[in-house]
């Protein structure tokens, strides 16, 4: 079977897709994941998104419709769905990931004003038990379903806290997972997925007011020292933004919870929206530079 002749806009889009995929492919190569494994996964994503697209447009979701939309042969569509024993619209695993109780607890610890020293610094040393401010109180606020001891063990495993008999000491201002922790890959997946989702939404938004925040600052012609300095600036800016956004998010969650307790005529609950706010900083030495002529 020969490849279909793509229209020029599609060819241009695929060139841009190649740019986006390059860092991912570098990581896949390091992980030893071959191309055929990625193609199998991509086929499933195509079918899932095509299923959702047809449903949104009120179209019948059939093998033929999925085949036409994705370019996957109808027999392959049927064989794939039967092999996986799940409907085409099953969301990708990354889409189901929500922040872990440990990450929620960590964010509250470094942003909650009640866990600050009088001078404003983060209170790094907490009593293990007792009323707030204590680790136990913080853990129970972060999750009602996970025991404080379990959360403490997880933070200790992640090397984010030092545990003493009656005290817990915070070791880091950033929730950075160990290099080979599977959760680190899942975190990368949802962060990158939502970043791409925001950018793709903006490409399809008809009115400027419908566009979402997705901006960046680019600088070139820097020494490694200068670029590293800007990285330090970025981390400082993130610290301020993180504290402000977590504070506002907690306030909105509290207001929504109170509103949710109020009866409505149709007993409906419209609290079905999630948000993700983040920041990234990338530094890369150019592969080749032209020598400067005096």
Q: What is the chain's mean pLDDT, rounded?
A: 87
Question: In the chain, where are the structural domains located?
Answer: 8-91, 101-170, 218-260
Residue 15 in contact with residue 9, Cβ under 8 Å? no
Lowest-confidence range among 16-25, 81-90, 230-239?
81-90
Which of 140, 141, 138 shows the shortest CA–CA distance to 254?
Answer: 141
Higher pLDDT, 24 or 4: 24
In whole angstroms, what is the distance from residue 170 CA to residue 176 CA? 13
Choice among 90-94, 120-124, 139-143 with the minimum mean pLDDT: 90-94
Q: What is the pTM of this model?
A: 0.77
Q: Do 146 and 128 form a contact (C-beta atoms < 8 A)?
A: no
pLDDT of residue 294: 47
Residue 220 gets the label, from left (phi > 0), alpha (psi -120 to 50) or beta, of: beta
Tens of pLDDT, residue by residue over 176-226, are: 877 777 878 888 888 999 999 999 999 999 999 999 999 999 999 999 999
State both tokens at 40.
């199998």
Q: Which of 54-63, 99-108, 146-155, 198-207 has the lowest mean pLDDT?
A: 99-108
Per-residue pLDDT tens for 79-99? 887 776 554 445 545 445 577
The average pLDDT across 139-157 equals 93
Q: Which of 223, 224, 205 is nearest to 214 (CA)?
A: 205
């Amino acid at each position: 079977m020969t490849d279909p002749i793509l229209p020029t806009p599609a060819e241009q889009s695929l060139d841009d897709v190649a740019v986006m995929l390059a860092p991912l492919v570098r990581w896949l190569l390091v992980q030893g994941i071959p191309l055929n494994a990625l193609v199998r996964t991509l086929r499933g994503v195509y079918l899932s998104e095509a299923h959702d697209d047809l449903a949104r447009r009120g179209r019948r979701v059939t093998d033929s419709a999925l085949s036409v939309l994705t370019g996957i042969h109808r027999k392959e569509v049927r064989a794939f769905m039967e092999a996986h024993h799940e409907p085409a619209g099953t969301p990708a695993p990354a889409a189901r990931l929500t922040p872990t109780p440990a990450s929620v607890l960590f964010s509250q610890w470094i942003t909650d004003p009640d866990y600050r020293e009088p001078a404003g610094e983060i209170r790094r040393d907490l009593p293990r038990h007792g009323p707030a401010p204590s680790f136990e109180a913080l853990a129970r606020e972060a999750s009602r379903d996970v025991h404080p001891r379990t959360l403490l063990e997880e933070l200790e495993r992640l090397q984010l806290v030092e545990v003493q008999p009656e005290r817990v000491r915070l070791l880091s201002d950033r929730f950075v997972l160990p290099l080979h922790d599977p959760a680190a890959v899942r975190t990368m997946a949802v962060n990158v997925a939502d970043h791409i989702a925001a950018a793709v939404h903006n490409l399809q938004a008809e009115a400027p007011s419908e566009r979402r925040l997705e901006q960046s600052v680019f600088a070139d012609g820097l020494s490694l020292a200068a670029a590293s300095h800007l990285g330090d600036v970025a981390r400082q800016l993130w610290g301020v933004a993180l504290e402000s956004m977590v504070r506002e998010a907690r306030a909105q969650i509290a207001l929504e919870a109170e509103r949710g307790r109020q009866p409505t005529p149709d007993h409906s609950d419209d609290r079905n929206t999630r948000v993700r706010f983040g920041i990234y900083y990338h530094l890369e030495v150019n592969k080749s530079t032209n020598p400067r002529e005096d």
